[in-house]
Chains A and B, each alone.
Chain A
C-alpha cells in the first residue's frame, strides 16, 4: 500500500483506502469499446455484443 504523505491531517477514511491500478483492471478483453453516435449525441456509445444468437449457421 502506498504511503500518503500530507502536511495536514486527513480523515480516518484514508487509513482504509484501496488502490486500483487502472492498467491491471482495464486490459485486453475487459476493455470497453466506445464508438461515436451522432443521433444520440455521444462519443461514448458502448459497443456491446448482441444478447442472443442472431443467426445460427455453424
Chain B
C-alpha cells in the first residue's frame, strides 16, 4: 500500500470557491479547485489505493492526475507501508523579536523625526514609512537617512511629491550616499512614466496620482506576499496593525495615521508611553479568520489587511471593526475580482470616509 505525505511547509488555505496552495519554502502560491483539498484530506486518512476505490473509473483518472501534480510540484512524497511519521508537522506559531516593528508617519517637515528619533531607537523599530506632504530636497533625504545612522532601523521608505530637481543625477547621487532607504515614491508626477535603470540601492516609483494618506489600504494581487514569516504573522495576528505604530500630521499617535483612535501626541507624549495604553494593541489579535468575507477567502494569509478603510458593516463582541477591507474588490464566493470603487454596496462606506477626509 502506498501513502501520500504532504510536506509540512506546504500550506493549504481553503476559500469559499477555491483553494490556495502556498509553498512556504519556495515562496509561491497557486490556486486550485476545492476538490483537491478534499482529496488531500482523504489521502491524509487512507492509503492511495483505498482512496482510489472510493471513485468511479473516470474519476480515478482525475485523481491520478492530481497525484501526479502533487508530486511534480513537490508538494509531497509517497511512502510504502505507512506514512513516514518522522516527518513532523510544522509549528504555526509566530515569534517576533521586536516591541514595535514598523512606524508609518505623515510629516510636513523633518523636525518631528528628530523628536521621535530616540524613541525609535529605544523601541528598536525596524522599518519606517515616511509620507511627506511637502517637497523634500536632496539634503532632506540625506538628513532622514542620517538621523538613523547606527540605529536598529533596517529600512526607510519615503513618499514625497515630485519636483523639478529630481532627475537622474539627483537619484544617482542619492544612491551613492544613502544606506537605509530601500524605496522612494514620487507622487503628483506630471510627465509620462518611463522605466528607470534598476540597479540602485532602493526601488523607485513615480505616480501621476496625488497621493494622500487616504490612498492607502488597497488590496490586490500586487501586494500579496508568500513567505513563511509574513504568512505565519497573518495566521496569528493582524497582518497590517500587529506591532505597527502610526503618527498623523498633527502628531497624534495611533495604530495607523488613517485611523481615528488617538493614544497620545508627540508634542506631549513619548511613543513608549503611548504604546502602554491598554487599547493600543486592541486590533493586534484580529486575524483574517475573524474578519467578514476574508475568513472565507483563499488569499487571507498572503494578503495584508486594512482596518483604516473597511465596509463598516460588522463589529465584533469587543466592539472592534471586523468588516471586510473597503478597497478589496475580490469576492471569494464567486472567485472574481471587481472594481471596488464603483461597487454599489460600498458607496455608503466610501462616502463616510470622504466626509471624514474633508473635515
Contact = CB atoms under 8 A, between A and B. Distances in A.
Asked if the two chains touch in their complex, CB atoms less than 8 Å apart, one says: yes
A45 to B, nearest CB: 7
Contacts of B290: none
B102 A54 contact: yes
A47 interface: yes
A47 B150 contact: no
A36 B239 CA distance: 29
B219 A49 contact: no
Interface string A35-55: 111111000010111111111
B149 A36 contact: yes
Interface string A9-46: 00000000000000000001100010111111000010
B330 interface: no
A56 B127 contact: no
Contact of B225 (A29, A45, A53): A53
Contact of B127 (A29, A38, A39, A54): A54
Contact of A37 (B150, B207, B219, B229): B150
B217 interface: yes
B253 to A, nearest CB: 17
B304 A56 contact: yes
Given A49-B182, A52-B239, A37 B152 contact: yes
A52 B180 contact: no
B42 interface: no
Given A49-B155, A52-B225, A56-B218, A28 B199 contact: yes
Contact of B121 (A36, A39, A55): A39
A47 B102 contact: no
A58 B102 CA distance: 19
Interface in B138-168: 149-152, 154-155, 157, 159
B104 A55 contact: yes
A57 interface: yes
A48 B156 CA distance: 10
Contacts of B5: none
Interface string B81-112: 00000000000000000000010100000000
Contacts of A51: 225, 227, 229-230
Contacts of B217: 56
Interface of A: 28-29, 33, 35-40, 45, 47-58
5 contacts: A33-B179, A35-B179, A50-B127, A52-B304, A56-B304
Given A39-B121, A47-B154, 9 more contacts: A29-B199, A35-B154, A36-B149, A47-B179, A49-B183, A51-B227, A55-B129, A57-B159, A58-B222
